[in-house]
Structure 1
Amino acid sequence: MQLKIAVIIPSYKVREHILAVIESIGPEIKRIYVVEDCCPDQSANHVETHCKDTRVVVIRHAENQGVGGAVMTGYRAAIADGMDIFVKIDGDGQMDTDLILDFIDPIAKGEADYTKGNRFFDLEKIRSMPTMRLFGNAALSLMCKLSSGYWNLFDPTNGFTAIHANVARRLPFEKISHRYFFETDMLFRLNTLRAVVVDVPMDARYGDEVSNLKISKIVGEFLVKHIRNFFKRIFYNYFLRDMSLASIELPLGLLLFSFGLFFGGFHWMESSQAGVSTPAGTVMLAAMPALMGLQLILAFVSYDIAALPRRPIHPHRTPARRVVDN
Structure 2
Amino acid sequence: MLDNKTVAVVVPCYNESQQIMMVLDSMPSFVDRIIVVDDASKDDTVGTVIKNLTDNTSTLELTSNLNNEIAPNIYNRADIEVKRKSIDEIQKFTPSEILNKNPNTEKIIVIKHLENGGVGAAIATGYKWCKDHDIDCTAVMAGDGQMDPDELESICKPVIAEDIDYVKGNRLIHKSAWVIIPRVRFLGNSILSILTKIASGYWGVSDTQSGYTAISNNALNSVPLYDIYKRYGMPNDLLVKLNIAFCTIREVKIKPIYGVGEKSKLNIIKVSLPIL
Check whether TM > 0.5. Answer: yes
* Other-structure match for 2:270: 217
Between the aligned partners of 1:11 and 1:53, the Cα distance in structure 2 is 22
Indicate whether 1:141 and 2:193 are aligned. Answer: yes
Q: Is the alpha carbon distance of 1:111 and 1:84 closer, same or farther for their aligned partners in structure 2, counting shifts above 3 Å?
A: closer
- What SS does structure 1 have at the residue aligned with 2:162? coil
Query: Do 2:190 and 2:207's aligned partners in 1 also have CA atoms closer than 8 Å?
Result: yes
Gap regions ≥5 residues in structure 1: 224-326
* Other-structure match for 1:196: 248
* Other-structure match for 1:47: 49
- What SS does structure 2 have at the residue aligned with 1:109? helix
Q: Is the alpha carbon distance of 1:36 and 1:53 closer, same or farther for their aligned partners in structure 2, counting shifts above 3 Å?
A: farther
Greater helix content: 1
* Other-structure match for 1:59: 111
Gap regions ≥5 residues in structure 2: 57-106
Between the aligned partners of 2:25 and 2:273, the Cα distance in structure 1 is 38
* Other-structure match for 2:205: 153
Deviation at 1:52, TM superposition (A): 1.8
Between the aligned partners of 2:202 and 2:36, the Cα distance in structure 1 is 30
* Other-structure match for 2:126: 74
Query: Do 1:117 and 1:201's aligned partners in 2 also have CA atoms closer than 8 Å?
Result: yes
- What SS does structure 2 have at the residue aligned with 1:75? helix
Query: Do 1:126 and 1:204's aligned partners in 2 also have CA atoms closer than 8 Å?
Result: no
Task: Give runs of aligned pairs for residues 91-110 of structure 1, distance below 5 A.
Answer: 91-110=143-162
Between the aligned partners of 1:4 and 1:182, the Cα distance in structure 2 is 25
Query: Do 2:136 and 2:160's aligned partners in 1 also have CA atoms closer than 8 Å?
Result: no
* Other-structure match for 1:264: none
* Other-structure match for 1:178: 230
Query: Do 1:33 and 1:56's aligned partners in 2 also have CA atoms closer than 8 Å?
Result: yes
1:165-221 residue CA offsets vs partner (Å, 9 max, x unmatched): 121012112321011110110000000011111111111111131121233333222
Query: Do 1:95 and 1:205's aligned partners in 2 also have CA atoms closer than 8 Å?
Result: yes
Point out the more displaced range, 73-82 or 212-221: 212-221
1:221-250 residue CA offsets vs partner (Å, 9 max, x unmatched): 211xxxxxxxxxxxxxxxxxxxxxxxxxxx
Between the aligned partners of 1:40 and 1:159, the Cα distance in structure 2 is 23
Deviation at 1:68, TM superposition (A): 1.0
Query: Do 2:37 and 2:112's aligned partners in 1 also have CA atoms closer than 8 Å?
Result: yes
> Which amino acid in the other structure matches residue 166 of structure 2?
Y
Quote the RMSD (CA, aligned, Å): 1.3
Query: Do 2:11 and 2:37's aligned partners in 1 also have CA atoms closer than 8 Å?
Result: yes
The alignment's TM-score, normalised by the length of structure 1, stands at 0.66
Q: Is the alpha carbon distance of 1:53 and 1:9 closer, same or farther for their aligned partners in structure 2, counting shifts above 3 Å?
A: farther
Moved runs in structure 1, 4+ residues, more than 6 A? none
> Which amino acid in the other structure matches residue 112 of structure 1?
I
Query: Do 1:6 and 1:32's aligned partners in 2 also have CA atoms closer than 8 Å?
Result: yes
* Other-structure match for 2:22: 20
> Which amino acid in the other structure matches residue 166 of structure 1?
N
The alignment's TM-score, normalised by the length of structure 2, stands at 0.78
* Other-structure match for 2:139: 87
Deviation at 1:2, TM superposition (A): 1.4
Query: Do 1:132 and 1:216's aligned partners in 2 also have CA atoms closer than 8 Å?
Result: no
Deviation at 1:154, TM superposition (A): 1.2
- Identity value in percent: 34
- What SS does structure 1 have at the residue aligned with 2:37? strand
